[in-house]
Amino acid sequence: MIRIVTDSMSDVSQEQSRAYHIDVLPQPIRFGEEEFWDDGVSITQEEFYKRIRVATELPKTSQVPMVSFLDAFNSALEDPENQVLCITGSSLLSGCYQSACLAKESCADPDRVTVIDSLNATCAETLLVEEAVLQRDAGKTVAEIAERIEDIKSRHKIIGMADDLKYLVMGGRLSPLVGKVGTALHIKPTLKIEGGVIDKAGVVRGNAKGRAWYIEQLKLFPPDKSIPLYIGGADCPDAVALIREQIEAEGLDLPEIREVNIGCLIGTHVGPGLTLISWAIAK
């Protein structure tokens, strides 16, 4: 059996982890002196966003500890027939990949453990994890699954739009003056993850133009219809519903659309109201 392990950067929930028979390892989050474990282990997303909306400074996050990966790997390896496939969040956004690699070196049988750096996070990582589950359940080998994941990574797109500039100012990504002017003019930064890092894609004025930008990008980079398209939202279900409605109304030839709740890690840096779209470009 192939045991799939991931981190909570993937935003795969604990409920989904049980349904998929995978391990989702949580990451610590600190509000001042209080430490929680995200993804519903000791703080729910609802409670997290409630806290961050009134916070005067952003919480701190850390990678999954190496020992958590080690425990998960060794537990799976107790069965001599088992292999482990671990998909982590981007090594350029968090230390989870490094923790997983160290755990592999220290585990009971490193030859039965494969670690993949997704070079992504949130719904883009969800896409890879769910594809790995699909391939595993279809009877593919670890090598075949890893090859499929690397292929998807090579043609992956993830783009987003921040809603409230306050959190970018709090995190030092924007100056207070730029944040104040941008808020007054209803400026929304557009974002992307490329090469494993979050970068600015541009700006739009207002949410409507942001949704139009999403549709424009889907037209420029048509999705692979064999892989679902993911829409993510950070505590903003109405915004996700509107994006989905407008994309579907456009009549594009799209794959299945799935929705993801953006969790604490990305939410810490960009705040509530963030929306994202993630898909694999057609070959």
Residues 227, 207: Cα–Cα separation, whole Å: 27
d(CA 76, CA 5): 10
Q: Which two structure tokens, joined as six digits, stand for 98?
A: 């490094």
Structure tokens at 54: 């009134």
Residue 98: C-alpha distances to residues 4, 101, 179, 208 (Å): 17, 5, 34, 40
**How far apart, in Å, are the Cα atoms of 53 and each of 57, 66, 162, 170?**
10, 31, 14, 12
The first and second tokens of residue 203, run together, are 């700006």
Do residues 52 and 89 touch, judged by C-beta distance below 8 A?
Answer: no
Please provide residue 145's backbone torsions phi and psi, each rounded to the nearest 5 degrees.
Answer: -65, -45
CA distance 101 to 119: 15
Radius of gyration of the chain (CA): 19
Q: What does the pLDDT read at residue 237?
A: 96
Which ranges in the chain belong to alpha helices (H)?
14-20, 45-54, 66-77, 96-106, 122-137, 142-153, 166-170, 176-184, 207-220, 237-249, 264-270
pLDDT tens digits in sequence order for the chain, 283 residues long: 999 999 999 999 888 999 999 999 998 888 888 888 766 678 888 899 999 999 888 888 889 999 999 999 999 999 999 999 999 999 999 999 999 999 999 999 999 999 999 999 999 999 999 999 999 999 999 999 999 999 999 999 999 999 987 877 777 666 665 665 667 667 888 999 999 988 888 889 989 999 999 999 999 999 999 999 999 999 999 999 999 999 999 999 999 999 999 988 888 888 899 999 999 999 9
For 97, other C-beta atoms within 10 Å of its C-beta total 27
Q: Measured in whole angstroms, how far is the alpha carbon of residue 79 from the centre of its chain?
A: 30
Residues 137 and 187: their CA atoms lie apart, in Å, by 44
**Prediction pTM value:** 0.93
Q: What is the pLDDT of residue 198?
A: 85
Cβ pair 25, 64 in contact under 8 A: yes
User: What pLDDT sits at residue 172?
Assistant: 67
